[in-house]
Amino acid sequence: MFGNGDEPPSNRSANAHIQDVVDAGRRKVLAGGAALGALAFLGGLPAMAGTAEPASVGAGLPFQRRSRLPFGAVSVTRADTVTVPAGYTAKAFIAWGTPICGSYPAYLEDASNSAHDQAQQTGMHHDGMHFFPIDAKFKGRKSDHGMLALNHEYIDAPLLHRNGPTVVNGKRVDADEVRKEINAHGVSIVEIRRNVRGDWAVLPSARNRRITGATPMRIEGPARGHDLMKTRYSPSGTSARGTLNNCANGHTPWGTYLTCEENWAGYFSSRDAELPRHLQRYGVRSTSRYGWETVQGDEFQRFDATQTAEDARADYRNEPNTFGWIVEIDPFDPDATPVKHTALGRFAHEGLVFAPVKPGWPVVCYSGDDSQNEYIYKYVSRDKYRPQRSDGSLLDEGTLYVARFNPDGSGNWLALDIDDAGFQQACATAGVDFVDQGDVMVNTRIAADVVGATKMDRPEWGAVHPDTGEVYFTLTNNSARQDADAANPRAPNLYGHIIRWREAGRNHAGTRFNWDLYLLAGPEGDSRDPRGKPLNDENILASPDGLWFDAEGRLWIQTDMSGSQLSSGPFGNNQMLVSDPRTGETKRFLVGPQGAEVTGITATPDFRTLFVNIQHPGEGSSATEYTSTWPDGPGRRPRSATVIISRDDGGRVL
């Protein structure tokens, strides 16, 4: 049924789909461009037929009928455990507080470990992660020994401390408590090995490392040394302390780990009556999430961005400008200083995903800004990729683009480059000035506003198909959307969707693309699977977030529902599904424990081990009342943890 390069034959059902959505009560939503978006979703794409690359999205491989998901779908459930299909086992691994380095301080059940202990134990709230084979630097693919690098996104203070956080008159009073919170953020890097029985263990390795919210880092790229980066800690604007709210992740073609600073603005406060644009546009407010700045001492007062001195080099007005970046970490060198790459833009970075690299071509990577009505970005390096010779400097000189999704299924990458004539024109029209490229990068969101990027429904993870190069992104939900558009066709968008695109001419470094919608999440009556059918018992989901392609081109989708969607919706606990773009088949593979988000996924090259993270089980627990007791069992404090998934027969996971 599918010819070479043809779209899946779903256009005949296009009208029906639109009608269904109209029938569901969103006639308004589908007016104008949004209707075209729905067409694009079905792959009929009459609008795309006239472009230079007719009907190219989703057409990269011959369509197949053979199922590549040979497992029984897991049912929706609210069980307080990790549920996987029959024939598979899931085991918790390196839960929060696991000793991994230094003096390997044991995890204390009553959460009485000190800040110093925490800096030698895995952090809280595991998020994105990547498995580096131990011989990765030499292009090796060893599957039973490697470095696992993982993010710790944020903390639940009631669970982090023995009796929850100590607050007196609205202020934090216990410095060690706050220091423990800072140390529970960041990244863990652990050397791990699989024995002949298939069991994994952490090795007592000198390479194991904790990177925290206080670890010294170097600033590179256009904002290095910029006036907006100068602080009392770094009057030269070339270094910074720590990485925070580390979400999703990335890994480079040269074997390093990337951690991404997402919702960092809430860690700061400013009491200034009027905030500069680089704080205002990013949501810095007069109070912070955890109140760290209320403790005496430079290590805490840096979270207060109020202007208190004559000169930026004598206070911390610019400290928030040292966050919102992609941070590169060498997982094999525990002494290497992490690098904040400012050419990749400053926003609520969810992750960073690379297009397949080609020697002699620029490196291209994509990143979403996960906030309501924010944007999707792409970076193209100036210099060319050279195997075995390229390094992180490729991420310091290049062009950052932002996406515009047109209603006809085409798209444009708009340069945020002070030397670009189009950008200069847009700035002049908008009456917005930037003094240099460092200023553009510190104010990435404003630059993207100026060029007319498309406001998206909270871009979360991206994933690039290993064979076709098509880029998929989750748009998790957007309760604030008031006007639907083609690429974000529901207003409000309660359930989220997955968008995908193909670069024109398959040139990832180019400036045009074609897009469609892969999946609309939601209950049976308000959803569409990749084949244009409603989702069903095997695959209803909401709030897609984590996204990853295995080496064979199956798309793994993780969810992050919260609030009433999680507690009383038809979706059960958060889950992970697998979807095959070749067939459109989509099945639930895993359901997480109570209150948890399922996020973070990586595998060994032999695909006999799949690593998945379970974040914030028992969310909403107090220091004494737990809404989940995963993974340790009844009466025990819930802990975020990695889950190791394997097949009982020892074979490939899929």
H-type alpha helices, 5-87: 14-23, 33-42
User: Which C-beta is closer to ligand FEO: that of 398 or that of 459?
Assistant: 459
330 interacts with, out of ligand FEO, Ca ion, none, CB within 5 to 8 A per kind:
none
Q: Give the 3-state secondary structure of residue 271.
A: coil
Q: Under rule CB under 6 A, which residues in 333-362 are in contact with ligand FEO?
A: 350
112/22 Cα distance (integer angstroms): 56
> Alpha carbon of 162 to those of 153, 393, 447, 622: distances in Å?
20, 44, 45, 10
| Region from 225-233, 284-292, 413-421, 537-545 binding Ca ion, contact rule CB under 5 A | 537-545
Residue among 117, 153, 319, 619 that touches ligand FEO (CB under 6 A): 153
- The end-to-end CA distance of the chain, in Å, is 26
Least distance (Å) between residue 600 CB and Ca ion: 9
Least distance (Å) between residue 369 CB and ligand FEO: 9
User: Which C-beta is closer to ligand FEO: that of 41 or that of 461?
Assistant: 461
Site string for ligand FEO, 252-281 (x = CB under 6 A): ----------x-------------------
72/157 Cα distance (integer angstroms): 38
User: If binding is defined by CB under 6 A, does position 449 make contact with ligand FEO?
Assistant: no
- Residues near 253 by beta carbon (within 8 Å), at least 6 away in sequence: 354, 357, 363, 385, 390
Least distance (Å) between residue 573 CB and Ca ion: 15
| Region from 178-186, 216-224, 435-443, 545-553 binding Ca ion, contact rule CB under 5 A | 545-553
> Alpha carbon of 164 to those of 43, 178, 186, 367, 382: distances in Å?
52, 11, 21, 35, 49
CA angle at 230 for the pair 227 and 232, rounded to the nearest 5°:
150
User: Which C-beta is closer to Ca ion: that of 427 or that of 566?
Assistant: 566
User: If binding is defined by CB under 6 A, does position 619 make contact with ligand FEO?
Assistant: no
Residue among 526, 560, 585, 619 that touches Ca ion (CB under 5 A): 560
52/96 Cα distance (integer angstroms): 51
Nearest partner of 219 among 198, 199, 235, 200, judged by Cα: 235
User: Which C-beta is closer to ligand FEO: that of 134 or that of 247?
Assistant: 247
Least distance (Å) between residue 320 CB and ligand FEO: 18
| Number of residues binding to Ca ion, judged by CB under 5 A | 3
Residue pair 305/284 in contact (Cβ under 8 Å)? The answer is yes
Q: Under rule CB under 5 A, which residues in 353-372 are in contact with Ca ion?
A: none
H-type alpha helices, 200-334: 277-280, 298-301
Least distance (Å) between residue 596 CB and Ca ion: 12
Least distance (Å) between residue 368 CB and ligand FEO: 8
Residue among 178, 247, 275, 440 that touches ligand FEO (CB under 6 A): 247
644/342 Cα distance (integer angstroms): 34
619 interacts with, out of ligand FEO, Ca ion, none, CB within 5 to 8 A per kind:
none
Q: Under rule CB under 6 A, which residues in 533-572 are in contact with ligand FEO?
A: 545
User: Which C-beta is closer to ligand FEO: that of 64 or that of 479?
Assistant: 479
Q: Which stretch of DSSP H or E encloses residue 201?
A: strand 200-202
| Number of residues binding to ligand FEO, judged by CB under 6 A | 7
User: Which C-beta is closer to ligand FEO: that of 262 or that of 293?
Assistant: 262
> Alpha carbon of 221 to those of 58, 140, 243, 652: distances in Å?
35, 30, 17, 41
262 interacts with, out of ligand FEO, Ca ion, none, CB within 5 to 8 A per kind:
ligand FEO
Site string for Ca ion, 405-444 (x = CB under 5 A): ----------------------------------------
User: If binding is defined by CB under 6 A, does position 460 make contact with ligand FEO?
Assistant: yes
80 interacts with, out of ligand FEO, Ca ion, none, CB within 5 to 8 A per kind:
none
119/623 Cα distance (integer angstroms): 21
536/589 Cα distance (integer angstroms): 14
- Count H helices and E strands in the chain, helices first: 11, 32
Nearest partner of 624 among 108, 111, 117, judged by Cα: 111
336 burial (CB, 10 Å; 0-12 / 13-18 / 19+) is: middle
Residue among 330, 396, 503, 545 that touches Ca ion (CB under 5 A): 545
Here the tokens at position 147 are 């470095």
Q: Under rule CB under 6 A, which residues in 466-525 are in contact with ligand FEO?
A: none
Residue nearest to ligand FEO (CB): 247
Would you tell me which residues interact with ligand FEO (CB under 6 A)? 153, 247, 262, 350, 370, 460, 545
Chain contacts with Ca ion (rule: CB under 5 A): 460, 545, 560
